[in-house]
Amino acid sequence: MEIPAGKICKNKVIIFSKFAEMCRILHQELQEHSPLLISGEVSSKERQEIINEFNYNPKYKILIMTEAGTFGLNIQSCSFLINYDLPWSVSKMEQREGRAHRIGQTKSVTVYNLIARNTIDEYVVKVLHKKQKMSVDILKDDERLEDIGFNEEDIKAILRI
């Protein structure tokens, strides 16, 4: 698709899953809404074409992606982001959200995390909260870190954030 001179379409939804098979199932179940799909099997060139369609073509309101869609893509048309399942990493969560919070985004983005009771996702949320709290606590303790020879970048590298 040629990128039109017009504006980016708004009020669109991105659905993330870490599982390619789940993305395919969601893609099939949502066919009546003409969803787009990006997974690891999609080439870089095709990804950009899909993003252009999603951003500029009002026909497409839903984009389903695996982690393959979390790096280097600018999706300013997204108003809603749904984490169908959660990654184990706080930084991967931030990467997902970062796709919609890009230069050119002028609206708020609402993020929904789908979490069912008594499932692994409920446990993952608890782990993510602990990791997030720990990283904030560590990064706030600058003086002690400097005394033992660590700086903020060292800690971020260790925590992979």
For residues 88 and 132, state if they share a domain.
Answer: no
Classify residue 21: in a domain, yes or no.
yes
Q: Is 2 inside a domain boundary?
A: no
**Share of residues in the chain with pLDDT > 70 (%):** 74
Asked if residue 26 belongs to a domain, the reply is yes
Please indicate, yes or no, if residue 1 is contained in any of the structural domains. no
Distance CA 119, CA 53 (A): 35
- Considering the domain boundaries, does residue 32 fall inside one? yes
Asked whether residue 3 is assigned to any structural domain, the reply reads: no
Short-list 89, 82, 90, 88, CA closest to 65: 82
Quick one: 27 and 83 in the same domain? yes
pTM of the full predicted structure?
0.73
C-alpha 101 chain-centroid distance:
10
- In the chain, which ranges are continuous DSSP H helix? 20-29, 44-56, 90-100, 120-140, 142-147, 152-159
Q: Which helix (DSSP H) or strand (DSSP E) does residue 83 occupy?
A: strand 78-83
Dump pLDDT digits (tens) for 4-37.
555 666 789 999 999 999 999 999 999 999 999 9
Number of domains in the chain: 2
Q: Name the pLDDT band for 53 (thresholds 50, 70, 90).
A: very high
Q: How far apart are CA 23 and CA 14, in angstroms?
A: 11
- Is residue 109 located within the same domain as residue 58? yes
pLDDT greater than 70 at residue 159:
no
Cα torsion for 121, 125, 130, 136, to the nearest 10°? 140
The predicted structure's pLDDT at residue 99: 76
Confidence check: pLDDT of 2 > 60: no
* CATH code of the domain covering residue 52: 3.40.50.300
Rounded to 10 degrees, the C-alpha dihedral 116/118/121/127 comes to: 130
- Cα separation, 4 vs 59, in Å, equals 14
Give the model confidence (pLDDT) of 99-140 as tens digits.
776 655 667 888 888 888 888 888 888 887 787 777 766 666
Instruction: Specify the pLDDT at position 68.
Output: 80
For the segment 62-113, what is each residue's pLDDT rounded down to a tens digit? 999 998 877 777 787 888 999 998 887 777 777 788 777 665 566 788 888 8
Q: What is the CA radius of gyration of the chain?
A: 18
In terms of residue numbers, what domain contains 149?
120-159
**Same domain flag for 20 and 95:** yes
Q: Is residue 134 part of a domain?
A: yes
pLDDT band at 155 (very low <50, low <70, confident <90, very high): low
| Side chain identity, residue 90 | V
